[in-house]
């Protein structure tokens, strides 16, 4: 996930006037949402200590386009990764939090801070990450830690305005994805939906967490039943749980995609110079009918689970549910995964992400901060110009590139340009 687009935005509070509860989870009344395009938010300060290849960094920021350029493996993506981690508490790039701690950190600790200017107030974010056992590098003496952590100490701590909080309490949004959204795995495409919905709708996140537990329990039970170790009737309870949670997840994913599809065709048309139109199709493993209400959907899902039970017992896995769903990206009716060029696939991913930004903007009430990591490779000059014209509409944009030759002069004239070399960021003297 080296390339990604990201967004920060204020999490919608339960007291917001256009949010309502229904069927024990939260939905949005889109027609009642006011226009928030004028609301401002931007990152005003970022500080990193022993994060990835950054020993120490302090960076003052403001509105506008911030361009970070430099050769590969210098720290450009790491910089954006830190922003995302402060927003969500997790890395879009690392499989484990400990990976972000600099291997040579004296106390095996990484420290991140940020200041966020918002429409209503300013927010100070702070995160400390511990790595008690960094990798041993051949020929390098590992640093000795002077910090002794008690057993069961959390490896990650978060503060908001100097008050200790849980990661789930972070009050900014971040929507990471790499630009291989179209040609990557189905899991990546599901994550594209889940990350946004989890941050905008806490109850969706709760349903997703519970659903994953049910899938794990049910898969284990299927194997035990197959081996004659359990009674098949035990599946009935988990089937009820699975279908109830799946009903929520599928419904909200459909709502989000309906909102995205209102934007994607126009965005794809803009980025392609008017030649292409995009539609995102949700391919569910359950048979779904738009005419069904929530109660009818639930009954149909139960029936479909009973119909595949014999096959599930043979294979020992759950064959139906949101964990097996996928997205299909159609440009002018053609499947981009199978027939799209690299440039078309990248443009499609960018259109989907920009549509997601608009979706988050409506839901959160703040203009998102846009992060673009090395997006210009595999785009022709025309698509680059159209993309830059689109992203310049945002209040604050962080953009990385390996060099400046691919950027139009009029864009460079408006940008705050920094060179990144070996974990150091310096203002470019152009």
Look at residues 3, 25, 30, 427 and name the one whose alpha carbon lies nearest to residue 257: 30
- Comparing 357 with 266, the larger pLDDT belongs to 266
Q: What pLDDT, on the 0 to 100 scale, is given for residue 376?
A: 81
Closest CA to 363 of 27, 59, 24: 27
Q: Return the axis-axis angle of helices 235-271 and 202-226, rounded to nearest 10°.
A: 130
pLDDT of residue 6: 35
pLDDT confidence bin for 195, thresholds 50/70/90: confident
Domains and CATH numbers, the chain: 1-174+368-430 (3.40.50.300), 183-339 (1.20.1050.90)
Report the pLDDT value the prediction gives residue 217, as an integer from 0 to 100.
Answer: 97
Query: Is 70 exceeded by the pLDDT of residue 284?
Result: yes
CA distance 399 to 348: 18
> Of all helices (H) and strands (E), which one includes residue 419?
strand 416-421
Q: Extract the tokens encoding 167.
A: 């990661």
Backbone angles phi, psi at 428, to 5 degrees: -80, 135
**Residue 15, pLDDT score:** 25
What is the pLDDT, as a whole number, of residue 13? 26
Cross-strand pairs, 159: 126, 164
The answer on pLDDT for 366 being more than 80 is no
Q: Which two tokens stand for residue 169?
A: 């309490």
String of DSSP letters for 195-227: HHHHHH-HHHHHHHHHHHHHHHHHHHHHHHHHT
| 3-class SS letters over 261-290 | HHHHHHHHHHHCCCCCCEEEEEECCCCCCC
Comparison of pLDDT for 38 and 263, the residue scoring more:
263
127 HSE (CA, 13 A, CB side): 31
Whether the pLDDT of residue 67 is over 60: the answer is yes
Q: What is the average per-residue pLDDT within 179-184?
A: 86
pLDDT band at 139 (very low <50, low <70, confident <90, very high): low
Q: What confidence tens digit (pLDDT) does each residue in 332-356 have?
A: 999 999 999 988 999 999 999 889 8
Q: Please report the pLDDT score of residue 135 as a whole number.
A: 64
Max CA pair span of the chain: 73
CB under 8 Å to 419, separation ≥6 — which residues? 68, 69, 70, 425, 426, 428
Residue 358 DSSP SS3: helix
pLDDT, residue 32, reads: 34
Highest mean pLDDT among 147-161, 198-212, 227-241: 227-241
Highest mean predicted confidence (pLDDT) among 87-91, 379-383, 424-428: 424-428
Is the Cβ–Cβ distance between 262 and 269 less than 8 Å?
Answer: no
Average pLDDT over residues 382-389: 87
Q: Say whether pLDDT at 374 is over 60.
A: yes
CA 69 to chain centroid, in Å, comes to 23
The pLDDT of residue 103 = 83
Q: Across residues 253-277, what is the average pLDDT?
A: 94
**Residue corresponding to tokens 């630009």:** 179
Q: What is the mean pLDDT of residues 216-230?
A: 96
- Output the six-digit token pair for 413: 């004239």
- How do residues 36-64 score in pLDDT, each as one tens digit? 344 567 899 999 999 999 999 999 999 99
Of the spans 152-166, 168-182, 324-338, which averages the highest pLDDT?
Answer: 324-338
Weakest mean pLDDT among 100-109, 197-206, 365-374: 365-374
């Amino acid at each position: 996930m080296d390339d990604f687009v990201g967004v920060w935005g204020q999490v919608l509070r339960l007291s917001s006037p256009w949010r309502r509860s229904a069927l024990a989870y939260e939905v949005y009344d889109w027609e009642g949402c006011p226009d928030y395009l004028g609301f401002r938010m931007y990152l005003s300060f970022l500080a990193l200590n022993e994060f990835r290849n950054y020993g120490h960094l302090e960076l003052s920021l403001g509105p506008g386009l911030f361009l970070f350029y430099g050769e590969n493996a210098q720290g450009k993506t790491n910089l954006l990764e830190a922003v995302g981690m402060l927003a969500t508490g997790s890395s879009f790039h690392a499989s484990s939090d400990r990976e972000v701690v600099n291997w040579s950190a004296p106390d095996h600790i990484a420290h991140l801070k940020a200041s966020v200017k918002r429409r209503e107030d300013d927010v100070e974010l702070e995160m400390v990450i511990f790595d008690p056992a960094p990798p041993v590098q051949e020929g390098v003496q590992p640093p000795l830690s002077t910090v002794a952590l008690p057993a069961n100490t959390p490896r990650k701590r978060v503060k908001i305005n100097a008050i200790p909080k849980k990661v789930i309490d972070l009050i900014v949004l971040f929507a990471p994805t790499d630009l291989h959204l179209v040609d990557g795995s189905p899991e990546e495409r599901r994550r594209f939906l889940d990350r946004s919905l989890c941050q905008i709708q806490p109850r969706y996140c709760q349903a997703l967490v519970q659903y994953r537990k049910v899938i794990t329990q049910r898969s284990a039970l299927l194997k035990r039943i197959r081996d004659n170790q359990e009674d098949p009737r035990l599946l009935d309870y988990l089937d009820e749980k699975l279908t109830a949670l799946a009903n929520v997840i599928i419904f909200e994913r459909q709502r989000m995609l309906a909102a995205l599809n209102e934007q994607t065709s126009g965005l794809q048309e803009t980025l392609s110079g008017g030649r292409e139109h995009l539609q995102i199709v949700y391919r569910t493993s359950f048979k779904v009918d738009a005419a069904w209400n929530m109660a009818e959907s639930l009954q149909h899902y139960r029936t479909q689970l009973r119909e595949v039970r014999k096959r599930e017992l043979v294979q020992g896995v759950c064959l139906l549910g949101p964990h097996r769903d996928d997205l299909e990206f159609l440009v002018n009716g053609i499947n981009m995964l199978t027939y799209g060029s690299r440039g078309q696939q990248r443009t499609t991913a960018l259109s989907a992400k920009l549509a997601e930004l608009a979706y988050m903007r409506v839901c959160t009430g703040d203009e998102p901060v846009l992060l673009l990591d090395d997006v210009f490779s595999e785009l022709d000059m025309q698509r680059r110009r159209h993309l830059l014209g689109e992203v310049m509409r945002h209040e604050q944009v962080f953009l990385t590139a390996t060099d400046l030759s691919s950027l139009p002069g009029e864009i460079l004239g408006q940008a705050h340009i920094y060179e990144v070399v070996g974990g150091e960021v310096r203002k470019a003297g152009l």
